[in-house]
């Protein structure tokens, strides 16, 4: 009786707190609620049985009442353990075929057990009372406990295999199983107590403060299963050889909208999208991979089901979405791929979800199939080649000369990194630099490039040959590392390269996003004697204040300014006045993208300081760059000799 009272009070508290605490309505909540209600009914009925057993010989209650109450108690316990198992399946993110098999298996066994338990007052297979109202276990009672132990073992095995769980989450869930296991074991040993009900109530209270509040598998805003559950389920699908169709919805302008509308409105829009997607197809499971990336997974699908789903998605995203009084048009890039036909590895899966859409600008919606997404495969190949290059130091440096308009010879070069594949082909930086910045590998790549440059300059005596500077690209991500300055100094000093010889090139958009660490890194490098070049001036978020806020010694005009000046008088005015302004600021002016003799002559007349472009040379290997310098020195093959 004391255990029953304590369990009833604890479960009542859990039920009250649960009703006030939960903020997201989902099936997981439903099974938790059913579990708590089932346990409350069990402990109340068990306390009633305890009362009847103590008074039966006095009040002469019919034994059928005791047997009926005992039978219902066992049925409630079996149901509670089944609900706990199904609840844990939802917490662990078991979806699709795997989840269905799990739930159908548990509920089928439970249904069969409930059926034969209900016959106990007639058959006495599980327990009975003698004429003195003394309780006796019968021959099938071990089967009852065996089924309970089986459920707990299955749940424990899924907890162990669930890779998406952290160590803490796995330990917490195993503790819940251990509590219930201990309670049932003690119930086997001490049949006259209700220790199982009490420990199960303790487990419910613990669940309320962990899985029902941590939301480790659920997006806290939308209530959809999150990224970790999607990835883990996809991995298990591939391991099991199951077939599924995956439809991803990349809402391209959702992040941009979040900068123009309130946070609350953005969250409401996100919830509206999630709610609509979740209700779209009963045979699909909806996930949220990122703030603006959703995924629908269909198990045992038919082509017609996928087509119907795509039609519904297209129609909805072609219409406006309402947020209060605001109507917004969303741009959706929808991708369809199949497991395992189009997707045989987790790398493929991640690429289909995350590789940026490369189609033309969206108006509303575009649907792409795996066969149309060749660039996704190319991106996967690039990532594989990138990983190999990191391991084998396969990054090579190419050099593009900068021609001095005053001395009429090349006295600078820009160092540009490439990946050289085993077959000799090159991967251009625009294909992997963005990825390297995301992974953080850009820092190590930058140091490798700088060391290659310093070695090349020293071994080939470039300073003695009249080269005054080499430009090395510097990522804003690199500038966020506090050890950057000492690491750079260690490399240049190792090869006896004067600090002033190195000019770090920063893109204009990078310079705009300065932080305290970024600014401090630039200041320390400038104090140590390094120069700085501003790249791509005149494009993107052009900001004149950048020119005097940052310590630039050289500014490179974007090629678009030059190319447009041949077509537009307005562009000529902008270019001409940009050069005059930069001249007054006292910085060296470089014009990028010079490809024709006419463009070169125009820039010479504009009193530009240096020229960079294919007219003189494209980026070339170390050997070809040395050959270029030799030709220029000897006058053989020089393109500017008669200017």
Q: Are residues 428 and 459 in the same domain?
A: yes
Q: Are residues 527 and 594 in the same domain?
A: yes
Q: Phi and psi dihedrals of 405, rounded to 5?
A: -70, -20
Residue 55 is predicted with a pLDDT of 58
Question: Does residue 358 register a pLDDT over 80?
Answer: no
3-state SS record for 511-562: HHCCCHHHHHHHHHHHHCCCEEEEEEECCCCCCCHHHHHCCCCEEEECHHHH
Q: Are residues 33 and 128 in the same domain?
A: yes
Arithmetic mean of pLDDT, 519-543 = 83
Is residue 401 included in any domain, yes or no?
yes
Arithmetic mean of pLDDT, 229-248 = 82
Residue 542 is predicted with a pLDDT of 47
Residue carrying structure tokens 């020089």: 638
Q: 35, 34, 27: which is closest to 217 by C-alpha?
A: 27
Is residue 222 included in any domain, yes or no?
no
Q: Are residues 342 and 489 in the same domain?
A: no
Boundary-marking domain end, from 372, 406, 422: 372
Is residue 294 included in any domain, yes or no?
yes
Beta-carbon neighbour count of residue 623 at 10 Å?
A: 8
Question: Residue 109, SS3?
Answer: helix
Boundary-marking domain end, from 372, 393, 425: 372
d(Cα 302, Cα 280) in Å, to the nearest integer? 16
Q: What percent of the chain has pLDDT over 90?
A: 30
- Give strand pairing partners of 284: 298
Sign of CA dihedral 506, 512, 518, 520: positive
Q: Are residues 19 and 128 in the same domain?
A: yes
Domain of residue 93: give its range: 2-214
Most confident of 173-177, 252-256, 572-576, 625-629: 625-629
Is residue 219 included in any domain, yes or no?
no
Q: Are residues 210 and 232 in the same domain?
A: no
Tell me the CATH number at 205. 1.20.1070.10
Residue 453 is predicted with a pLDDT of 97
Tell me the CATH number at 279. 3.30.70.270
In contact, 4 and 43? CB cutoff 8 Å:
yes
What mean pLDDT, rounded, does the chain reach?
83
Boundary-marking domain end, from 329, 350, 372: 372
Is residue 71 included in any domain, yes or no?
yes
Q: Are residues 195 and 236 in the same domain?
A: no
Split into its structural domains, the chain has a count of 3
Q: pLDDT tens across 403-424, in order?
A: 999 989 999 999 999 999 888 8
Is residue 640 included in any domain, yes or no?
no
E strand or H helix that includes residue 142: helix 141-161
Q: Are residues 59 and 175 in the same domain?
A: yes
Residue 424 is predicted with a pLDDT of 87
Is residue 134 included in any domain, yes or no?
yes
Q: pLDDT tens across 30-43, in order?
A: 788 888 888 888 88
Question: Does residue 589 register a pLDDT over 60?
Answer: yes
Q: Are residues 127 and 62 in the same domain?
A: yes
Tell me the CATH number at 565. 3.20.20.450
Is residue 88 included in any domain, yes or no?
yes
Q: Are residues 408 and 270 in the same domain?
A: no
Q: Are residues 352 and 459 in the same domain?
A: no
Q: 454, 518, 515, 529: which is closest to 482 by C-alpha?
A: 518
d(Cα 316, Cα 62) in Å, to the nearest integer? 65
Question: Does residue 116 register a pLDDT over 90?
Answer: yes
Q: Are residues 466 and 394 in the same domain?
A: yes
Arithmetic mean of pLDDT, 230-250 = 83
């Amino acid at each position: 009786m004391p255990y029953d009272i304590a369990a009833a009070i604890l479960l009542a508290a859990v039920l009250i707190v649960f009703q006030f605490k939960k903020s997201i309505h989902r099936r997981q909540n439903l099974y938790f609620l059913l579990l708590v209600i089932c346990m409350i009914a069990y402990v109340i009925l068990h306390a009633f049985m305890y009362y009847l057993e103590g008074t039966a010989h006095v009040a002469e209650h019919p034994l059928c009442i005791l047997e009926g109450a005992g039978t219902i108690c066992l049925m409630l316990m079996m149901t509670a353990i089944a609900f706990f198992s199904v609840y844990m399946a939802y917490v662990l993110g078991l979806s699709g075929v795997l989840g269905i098999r799990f739930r159908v298996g548990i509920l089928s066994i439970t249904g069969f057990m409930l059926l034969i338990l209900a016959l106990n007052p007639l058959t006495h297979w599980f327990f009975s009372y003698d004429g003195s109202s003394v309780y006796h276990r019968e021959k099938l009672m071990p089967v009852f406990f065996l089924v309970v132990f089986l459920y707990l073992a299955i749940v424990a095995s899924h907890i162990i295999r669930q890779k998406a769980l952290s160590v803490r989450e796995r330990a917490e869930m195993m503790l819940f199983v251990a509590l219930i296991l201990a309670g049932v074991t003690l119930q086997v040993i001490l049949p006259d107590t209700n220790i199982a009900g009490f420990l199960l109530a303790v487990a419910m209270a613990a669940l309320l403060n962990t899985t029902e509040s941590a939301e480790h598998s659920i997006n806290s805003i939308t209530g959809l299963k999150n990224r970790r559950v999607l990835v883990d389920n996809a991995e298990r699908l591939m391991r099991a050889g199951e077939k599924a169709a995956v439809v991803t919805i990349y809402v391209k302008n959702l992040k941009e909208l979040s900068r123009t509308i309130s946070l609350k409105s953005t969250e409401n829009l996100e919830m509206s999208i999630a709610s609509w997607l979740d209700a779209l197809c009963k045979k699909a499971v909806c996930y949220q991979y990122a703030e603006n990336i959703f995924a629908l997974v269909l198990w045992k699908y038919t082509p017609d089901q996928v087509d119907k789903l795509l039609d519904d998605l297209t129609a909805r995203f072609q219409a406006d979405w309402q947020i209060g009084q605001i109507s917004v048009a969303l741009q959706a890039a929808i991708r369809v791929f199949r497991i395992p036909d189009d997707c045989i590895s987790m790398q493929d899966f991640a690429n289909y979800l995350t590789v940026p859409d490369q189609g033309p600008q969206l108006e509303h919606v575009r649907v792409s199939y795996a066969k149309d997404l060749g660039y996704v495969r190319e991106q996967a190949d690039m990532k594989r080649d990138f990983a190999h290059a990191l391991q084998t130091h396969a990054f090579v440096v190419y050099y593009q000369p900068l021609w001095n308009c005053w001395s009429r010879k090349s006295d600078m070069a820009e160092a540009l990194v490439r990946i050289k594949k085993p077959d000799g082909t090159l991967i251009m930086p625009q294909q992997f630099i963005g990825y390297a910045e995301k992974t953080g590998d850009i820092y190590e790549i930058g140091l490798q490039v700088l060391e290659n440059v310093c070695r090349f300059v020293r071994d080939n005596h470039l300073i003695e040959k009249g080269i005054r500077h080499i430009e090395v690209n510097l990522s804003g991500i690199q500038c966020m590392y506090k050890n950057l300055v000492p690491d750079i100094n260690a490399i240049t000093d190792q090869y006896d390269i004067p600090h002033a010889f190195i000019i770090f090139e920063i893109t204009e958009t990078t310079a705009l996003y300065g932080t305290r660490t970024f600014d401090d890194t630039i200041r320390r490098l400038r104090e140590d004697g390094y120069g700085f070049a501003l790249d791509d001036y005149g494009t993107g978020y052009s900001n004149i204040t950048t020119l005097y806020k940052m310590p630039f010694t050289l500014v490179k005009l974007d090629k678009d300014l030059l190319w447009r000046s041949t077509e537009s008088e307005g562009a000529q005015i902008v270019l001409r006045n940009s050069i005059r302004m930069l001249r007054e600021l006292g910085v060296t002016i470089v014009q990028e993208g010079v490809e024709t003799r006419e463009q070169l002559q125009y820039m010479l007349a504009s009193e530009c300081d240096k020229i960079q472009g294919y007219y003189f040379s494209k980026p070339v290997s170390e050997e070809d760059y040395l050959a270029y310098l030799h030709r220029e020195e000897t006058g053989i093959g020089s393109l500017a000799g008669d200017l």
